[in-house]
Every structure is written in C-alpha cells, then in structure tokens.
Structure 1
Amino acid sequence: MKSLQQSFLVPFTYSVFFTEDIFEERNHILKGLINKSPDEKVLVIYDENVLCKSDNLLADTNQYFEKNLPGQLTEVMILPGGEAIKNETGRVNEILEAIERGKLSRHSYIIVVGGGALLDLAGYAASIAHRGIRLIRIPTTVLAQNDSGVGVKNSVNYFNKKNFLGCFAPPYAVINDRKFLMTLEQRDWIAGIAEAIKVSLIKDEEFFYFILSNASSLVAKDQDIMQELIYRCAELHMQHIGGDDPFERGSSRPLDFGHWAAHKLEQMDMYQIRHGEAVAVGIVLDVTISYLRNYISQKSWYQIFDCINQCGFKDIIATYLPFLITNYLELEKGLHEFREHLGGKLTIMLLAAIGKGIEVGTIEGEEILRSLKYANSYYPKNEISQL
C-alpha cells in the first residue's frame, strides 16, 4: 500500500476598525483597504432597512466612490434584512448574478452593509464565488458589531434548519461604524446586548459586572457605554477565534452558550423573535440548568437574571418561557439538531461560575422542562406580556 500525506498552515489576518461615518469623503479606511488593489472592482450590498433609516446614505456611498475610488464600483445591490432572508436561498443566486454581471474576480471586493443575517448570506455568496471574493463587512447592529460580524462564519438556513449551509471564511476586514447604531429601534439596540452577556458569562466576570452596573445606561442608548461594550465583546470573540480551533473542527462550541435553545426557538417562532432575544431566553434556560445542577450558586443565578432583566429582556423572557414549557418536546429536538450540527457528539456549554463555562455531554428532556418551569417561577404571572 502506498500513501501520501500533506500538512500545511494558512495564516489568516484581518482587522476590525472602529470609526464613525465610513462613507464621509475624508474617512479613508475603505480607500486604504481597496487601494491596495487599485484596479479591482467593488460590489456594495445594502440592507434595505439601513437605507430606509439613513438619509442620503445611498448618495453618500456613490459620491464616496466617485471621489476616492473612481471607476471601481460596479453596482449597489439592495436586499431585505432580518433572519428571514437566510431562508431565501434564491438571494444567494441574486448576489452571484451581480458578481457575474460586474465581472468581479477573486481579487475584487464585496462590501456588505447591514445586520448579521445579511452579513451571513452575503458572506456565504462571496465565499463560493471564484472560491472566495474579498469580503468587507460593515455591521449595522449591536449584535453584528459585537459578535457575528467580527467572526469567521457565513451561512444560510436550509431544510428548515438554522445555518445548515455555510462555511468558515474570514473577512478581508470589518468596519464598525457607530453612526449606524443610532438608527436602530430600541428592540434591536437591546437585542445585541444578549451576546455581550453571553460572552461575559463564559469568559470574563469583570465584563459581566460592567454590563450589570451599566444596564440602565445601555438601555437608555448611552453611545459611549455601548461602544465600550461592543469593543470588549468583539475583543473576546476575536481572542477565541484566534485560539486552538477557529474553524470548530472539534465538537466544542463555547461561544454557542445559550444557543442550542435559541436556534430552535427562532425556528419554532417562525423567526419573528430577534436572534439576540432568543439568545437571552437560551441563556436563562442554560443558567437555570447550571443552577439546578449545583454548578452555580443561587446568588449568581439571581444576579444573572437581574442583569438580563435590567438590560430589557424581561418581557421577552416572560412571554417565551410559557411558550417553551408548552412546547418543550419540540424544543428538545433542538438538542438533537445541535448534536448533528456538531458532528454527532453533543457538547453543551453551561456555567461553573460567572465568567467560567463548563462543558457537558448530556441534557435530558425532563431536565429541560423542570428548568423552564423553575425559571418561569421567577416571573409573576401578572407581569407576563404578549408581544
């Protein structure tokens, strides 16, 4: 028998910029990135929700390219935002058609401006065209700026399963523009805080208490406090990605704390709930499982609930816990789907303490139901609201 073996390393490097008014003529971040390839073409993809809330943004974008990168912009596409777009795989073909129409090469650039769902979808299209076109992400939501937009994942939903189709493909660069955050509705502003709570709980106790002590300022749209949160959260995510398993070859998914239930809840709710809201519900469940297993103290359990409630998730959680109790058998299927997504071995992140995660290999259906009921008992019945 003969065999050959190959082994090689491919380094990945990309920057996350923090700025304001990226398409202002004197802001040269984009110009500096694209001028490294002055003859290459650029496709811009916009989330229509962003354009609707930003006066003159389309005109400013065209003017920016005319002044700073003349002749390189091939097209500005406008697509819907929101998680539902990831169910429309035909949108991937629309982007591929625009790539072909503009005759982009693998050395060209796609700039996607929008929330996490559109970033996921456009990133997936960019990764499969010519085996990978340079992608510049400009996230416009709190959640995308502090979490999904700075990572290496791209995906669409398929077979009614979240992120069934996807790939790991690092972006060429990420640009967090704080100006876009001021266009967010309160619900979307708050939703992104859930991912910060998540990463603080498993990685940084000090960061958790920063969020807890500044909860009222965050809810009140204090931009400076939010920028501190986004920066630290993005930093923790990038540190994790730069670790031993950036492309998740193993079954460990620590950054998916609270996510196995969140992903299933989104599907069960027909993607009406925001991803960050679903993550908040998932955190409540996994934190309660951790407490009932005696991994964390009652004091920690109360502090985490207090933080989540103060950050604006109280009504969401009080609404969806009864829904999950009624449909817990359907929720339990999310564990099996999560196991399949991981490659056959279930690894769930729970809490050993605030700031420290612990991986477990089993969660039983009765344990899920008991934890849902226990968490629900925290909320007086007369405070449960319907969205």
Structure 2
Amino acid sequence: MNTLHQTFSVRFTYDVYFSDRLFETSNLSFLNFLKKNHSEGFRKKLLFILDEGVTASHPELLNQIKAYFANLSIVDLIPDLIVIPGGEASKNDPALVEQLVDAIDRHGIDRHSYVVAVGGGSVLDLVGYVAAISHRGIRHIRIPTTVLSQNDSGIGVKNGVNYRGKKNFLGSFAPPIAVFNDSQFLTTLDDRDWRAGISEAIKVALIKDQAFFEWMETNAEKLAGRDLDAMQYLVHRCAELHLNHIASGDPFEMGSSRPLDFGHWSAHKLEQLTHFEIRHGEAVAIGIALDSLYSQRLGWLSEADTTRILNLERALGFSLFHPALDGDGVLNGLNEFREHLGGQLTIMLLTAIGTGREVHEMDLSLIREVIGILKEDEIQPA
C-alpha cells in the first residue's frame, strides 16, 4: 500500500500593546503598528466594529477614530464604523454574524486588510469568528475594553459564538495580528464589569503563580476600590501568564487538558442556566469557589488555603452562590464540558495555591455537598 505523509507547522506571532488613550493623535502606538506591517505600494483597509456599550460610555470615540486615520496615507479607513450590541447576547444572535459578513463583503475587506474589534469579550469573540470564516481568514485586531477581555479572553487565540444553547459551540482558533489594551476604557466600567474580570486573574494565579495570588490578597482593598494603577498591574501580569501558557502548551487545544479553564465547567453552565444574567467573571468566581472547596474535600487543598481563596473573592465583592446552583442542572455542565473538550473529561483542581492537578472524573455527591456549603455559607470570612 502506498502512503503519502505530510506534516508542517505554522508560526503565529502577535504583540499585546499596553497604552492609554489609544486614538489621541499624539499616541503613536497604532500608527507604528501599521507602519511596521505596511507593504509598499499597497493600501490596506481598516473596518472597525464597535461595542455600543463602549461608544455610549465614550461618545467621542467614533470621531476620534476618524480623526486619527484622516491623514494617514498607508491605510484606508472604511468610513462606515459599525456599532453593534455588546454583551453575551451578541454571541446568541445569528443575524449579527450575517450582518458583519455582509459588511466585509460590501466593503471589499480582503485577507490583507484588517477587521478591528473594539469592545468586551463577547464582541471580540463574535468579530474574531466572523473574521476567521470570511475569506478563510481575515487579519483581525482586538481592542479589549473590559478587565476580563484585557487580561484573558481578548489576548488569546479563541473566537466563537453560542449555538443551540451551548456556549462557544461554533468557533475557531484564530490568533489576532495585534491586541491593544487601552487602560482608559476601564475607567468607565460599572462595578460589576470592573470586578468580574478579576476572577480570571485569581484563576490563573491559583494554578500558576502563588506570588501573584498573594499580591492580590495584599491589594484587594485597592482593587475593590477601583485603583487604576493596581488594576493595570493585575491586567498586565494576568495577560503575561496567559500568553506564556498559550506559547508553552497546547494553543489550539488538540488534547483534553485545559488548565486555564479552572473553575469553568460549572461557570459555563451557570451562565446558560441564568440566561446569561450573571457575567462570565461572576460565574467563574463561583466556579473557583466550588472547585476549591471540592479540592479541600478530596484532602488535597488545606482548609487554610481554601479559606484564603474564599476570603479573597469575598473581599473583592464576589457572591459565591447563585440560586441556579440548586438542583442538578449545573451537574449537566460536566458532560457538556467533556463534549466541548472533544475527548476525555479533564478538570483542573488544586493541591495548593499556585499548584493545579488534573482529574478525569468528579464525584457528583461531593459536588452537591460543596454546593450545599456555599449555599449555607458555612465557611465564614476570617
């Protein structure tokens, strides 16, 4: 039997820039990126798609973008700046996918042009997915505007939309060509969105960086009090840990191991059960509490460390129980998580703060016990 065998690798490279007031004409970050990627004699197009929540909080933004690119000779800004609804609802609406694909077609956005998404994680997920399926892949630039998207989802390689009631059922692995984190966008977040993104920093610290967790304990009051300097450090460190993991592990998740999804199996199901009334980060905070307590009940995580984790979450203002945890609905999240992985169920638990350990099964009765503990608030803050 004759056999032809092929193997090849593709290198992906992108930078995450940290800036402030990105579209002030004196800020050269975006311009320098365009110059670096300019092809002589060829003018690339820029199509902007913006989260309407961001444009409402920053009413000058659309005019700033137009002014920023008005006199640049190396790119052509599509004057139709598209504003779409934000939040998880944007990922539940197939009509939005069609609307954005149509815009790409009408404006002649080719594979050498850029689709620029400005918004929270849901809008970035949606736009990244649209860019990935149009022309088999258009270069996309992300400008995250929330804590969660700046430190986690917006800097990674995943895009997607919800389908058939399942989170990120349709999606792609398509790294951005660049990410611009503008701290000014964080200043207008409401308290829930400011807080929600911190849960992803707690998550990555718990599985990878004890010192970072201890820094959050020390700075919990500042973070809860909306200290921007503290938040900028948190975003930068969390992003750094996230990017290091992507580079050193399994970036396109060909296997079943997903350590960065610690606390997420129940969080994804909670979002669905509450019809996305709770933020992703709020659900993750509950998931972290659940899996930390579960780790303690296995005898892996000390009571002292468990208490520290729950105390930090409470100090930051998180609620660690939601009525949707009652009943067995959330337990269905285990099988859905396994299906999403596409193989063996793999759940990250803790043996210590900063150290994770994977398991391939979970005891449903023990999960119910832990939910009962969270409901009754048996572990009190110190």
Q: Secondary structure at the match of 2:48?
A: strand
Aligned to 1:317: 320
Equivalent position of 1:85 in the other structure: 90
**Structure 1 residue 27 displacement after superposition:** 1.3
**1:317, CA displacement in angstroms?**
2.0
Do the aligned partners of residues 210 and 69 (structure 1) sit closer, same or farther apart at CA in structure 2, a change above 3 Å counting? farther
Match of 1:197 in 2: 202
Read off the aligned partner of 1:45 and give its amino acid letter: I
- List runs of 5+ in structure 1 lacking aligned partners: none
Deviation at 1:343, TM superposition (A): 1.2
Name the residue aligned to 1:217: 222
- Amino acid paired to 1:351: L
Task: Identify the range of structure 1 (88-97 vs 15-24) with the bigger mean alpha-carbon deviation.
Answer: 88-97
CA shift in 2, pair 1:219/1:80, >3 Å? same
Distance 1:3-1:71 versus aligned 2 partners, 3 A rule = closer
After superposition, residues 233-382 of structure 1 pair within 5 angstroms as: 233-313=238-318, 316-318=319-321, 320=322, 322-324=323-325, 326-327=326-327, 329-378=328-377
% of aligned pairs identical? 50
Partner AA of 2:9 in structure 1: L
Per the alignment, residue 11 of structure 2 pairs with 11
The aligned counterpart of 2:134 is 129
Aligned to 2:64: 60
The whole-number CA distance in structure 2 between the counterparts of 1:32 and 1:130 is 27
**Residues in 2 aligned to 1:251 and 1:169: alpha-carbon distance in whole angstroms:** 19
Contact map agreement 1:31 1:69 (CA 8 A) in 2 = no
- Tell me, in whole angstroms, the C-alpha distance in 1 between the residues paired with 2:320 and 2:378: 9
Native 8 Å contact 2:373 2:379 kept in 1: no
Unmatched runs of 5 consecutive residues or more in structure 2: none
The structural deviation recorded for 1:380 is 8.8
1:43 aligns with 2:47: yes
**Tell me, what secondary structure is at the counterpart of 2:248?**
coil
1:195-230, CA deviations, whole angstroms, 9 ceiling, x for partnerless residues? 000000000000001111101100111100101100
2: CA distance between counterparts of 1:165 and 1:352?
34
SS in 1 for 2:345: coil
Contact 1:25 1:67 in 2 (8 A): no
Q: CA deviation at 1:70?
A: 7.2
1:159 maps to what in 2? Answer: 164
Deviation string 1:289-326 (CA, Å, 9 cap, x unpaired) is 0000011100001000010000110xx324x0x431x2
Letter in 1 for 2:45: K
Residues 318-340 of structure 1, C-alpha deviations (whole Å, 9 max, x = no match): 4x0x431x22x111110000011
> What are the superposed Cα offsets for residues 223-272 of structure 1, whole Å, 9 maximum, x if unpaired?
00101100000000000000131111000000000000000000000001
Q: What's the CA shift for 1:73?
A: 1.1
Report the Cα distance in structure 2 between the residues aligned to 1:305 and 1:163, rounded to whole angstroms.
Answer: 28
| Cα distance, 1:299–1:380 mapped onto 2, change above 3 Å | closer
Q: Does 1:110 align with 2:142?
A: no
Corresponding residue to 1:73 among 77, 85, 101: 77
Distance 1:183-1:379 versus aligned 2 partners, 3 A rule: farther
Cα pair 1:18 1:176 within 8 Å, conserved = yes
Task: Give the TM-score taking structure 1 as reference length.
Answer: 0.95
SS in 2 for 1:171: coil
Secondary structure of the residue aligned to 1:165 is: strand
1:344 CA displacement: 2.7
Structure 1 position 33, deviation (Å): 2.2
- Give the 3-state SS of the residue equivalent to 1:41 in structure 2: strand
State the distance in 1 between where 2:341 and 2:104 align.
Answer: 32
| Partner SS, residue 182 of structure 1 | helix
One-letter code aligned to 1:323: A
Aligned equivalents of 1:237, 1:50: Cα separation in 2: 25
Cα shift readout 1:333-356 (whole Å, capped 9, x = no counterpart): 100000111113100000011000
Q: What do residues 17-40 of structure 1 show as CA deviations (whole Å, max 9, x unaligned)?
A: 000011111212222223333501
Q: Deviations over 1:267-287 (max 9, x none)?
A: 000001000000001101100
SS in 1 for 2:202: helix
